[in-house]
Amino acid sequence: MKNNFGHLLDGTAVSLYTISDGGISAVICDLGASVYRLYVPDHQGHPADVVLGFPDPMDYVRSTSFMGCVIGRSANRLQGAAFRLNGREYRLEANENGHNNLHSGNAFYKDRVWTVLDHTATSISLVLDSPDGDQGYPGNAKICVTYTIENGRALHISYDGICDRDTVFNMTNHTYFNLAGHDHPEKAMQQILSMPARFFTPSDAESIPTGECLPVEGTPMDFRCPKPIGQDIGQDYAPLHLQGGYDHNFEAFANPCATLSDPESGRSMAVITDCPGIQLYSGNFLNGESGKDGAVYCRRGGVCLETQFFPNALNHPEWDQPIVHAGERYHSDTVYRFVW
């Protein structure tokens, strides 16, 4: 099913597409290839929308929260807004702190209307052409993101890309989850999070990884035993102080790499991925945004679990690299699997 969602300032139409398969259903927006709604039943079978979002397309363009959207060509941060590839330096837009790059610069994929390639009852594929030099990256790239509802229980996101030059691909999705329902932001930090990660990558005051891989044991970063996200978020611990809460990359060496659950509703979500890392972000910079259905998203009113290569990996050759050679296919899968 396709519905009109409004227009951008230049008159470009924005549309919403529903996919479903029994238990859960999703509404995908062609602006930013975004997850606009995701309905999941509770233990009594009552569905609720568990992702944050805005009521108008221009809210997505104006916002810096990246709600629900696809991030690319390369997610997260790059120190000095530059990287070297094949002996050449490529400079990106320094759109954070005056000298670093966040989410590939202000020519964000979230502000572009993607083309729908295919839409069935259970799946939708959206494509974007990214020309040579777009955001500063080399090569003409064709990117495809496919959302599929599997067995009424999972939202499967597949990322595909191909480029005519060696380039960078590190795609992720920036959905904010609240399994209590998006309109209950006060409950977001009460949700129980479990992650098997043994280490995380601490960042400096500008959110750039230091290059260390620190063990989580004995720290507030340890989610190997399930605990409420907010339980230790106020601890006197430097990495939490520097980022204003959780905004850190963890290793994703085992699947599920994260499990989020809401005790009251009985909803639980497992994250399965082929990526080396997962960014836990506790919505530290949400600040009373007016959301869909009249909701108001307070600070820490949602949580992101973003699967990706390690932040700033291009400047740390010892880490897995998001480099894809000319003509080779980039492919990555992340699945959000629900029980209730």
- Tell me the catalytic residues: 174, 306
Give the burial class of 180: count Cβ atoms within 10 A of its Cβ; 0-12 exposed, 13-18 middle, 19 or more buried: buried
Cα 85 from Cα 136, distance rounded (Å)? 12
Tokens matching residue 6: 């409004």
Cα 211 from Cα 316, distance rounded (Å)? 7
Q: Annotate 229-295 with DSSP letters as a single string.
A: TTSSTTSS-HHHHHHTS-EEEEE--SSSSEEEE-TTT--EEEEEESSSEEEEE--TT--SEE-GGG-
Structural contact between residues 130 and 137, judged by C-beta atoms closer than 8 angstroms: yes
Q: Which CA distances in Å does 333 have to 112, 245, 258, 338?
A: 22, 27, 15, 16
Cα 236 from Cα 329, distance rounded (Å)? 44
Structural contact between residues 169 and 135, judged by C-beta atoms closer than 8 angstroms: no
User: Any bridge partners for residue 155, and if so which?
Assistant: 149, 336
Cα 147 from Cα 246, distance rounded (Å)? 27
The CB density around residue 237, as the number of other CB atoms within 10 Å, is 13
